[in-house]
Amino acid sequence: DTAVSQTPKYLVTQMGNDKSIKCEQNLGHDTMYWYKQDSKKFLKIMFSYNNKELIINETVPNRFSPKSPDKAHLNLHINSLELGDSAVYFCASSPRDRRRGYTFGSGTRLTVV
């Protein structure tokens, strides 16, 4: 069973479109995250959710919005896509005991054309 699963794995879309990426974890973790990895492999946290409450919101454009219907899901919605949004987006989750580290999904490669 996949611990943290993201869909789709690849997403190619035109500028101006609105798209969503889904994430689900079956680990029973209480916090989920979205990270953006740029072309230089640098990882930047975008959002985290703990029990449906947004607890980290870095300086990302408000075109990006996380939505968590329940503890096991954290979806990422992106409006009015721009070329600069092209990147790999990773979902992750962590338990209450953060010493155990984060578990990552396999990533969604978003290409905006």
Residue 11: CB minimum distance to another protein, A: 14
Output the smallest distance, CB 89 to another protein, in A: 11
**Which of 52/100 has CB closer to another protein?**
100
CB count within 10 Å of CB 42 equals: 9
Residue 28: C-alpha distances to residues 52, 56, 77, 85 (Å):
14, 20, 23, 30
CB of 62 to another protein, least distance (A): 23
Nearer to another protein, 78 or 105 (CB): 105
Give the shortest CB-36-to-another protein separation in angstroms. Answer: 11
d(CA 89, CA 96): 23
CA-based nearest residue to 27, from 71, 89, 75: 71
Peptide bond into 8 cis (omega under 30): yes
Residue 64 vs 90, nearer CB to another protein: 90
Residues near another protein (CB under 8 A) are 4, 40-43, 45, 90, 92, 94, 97-107
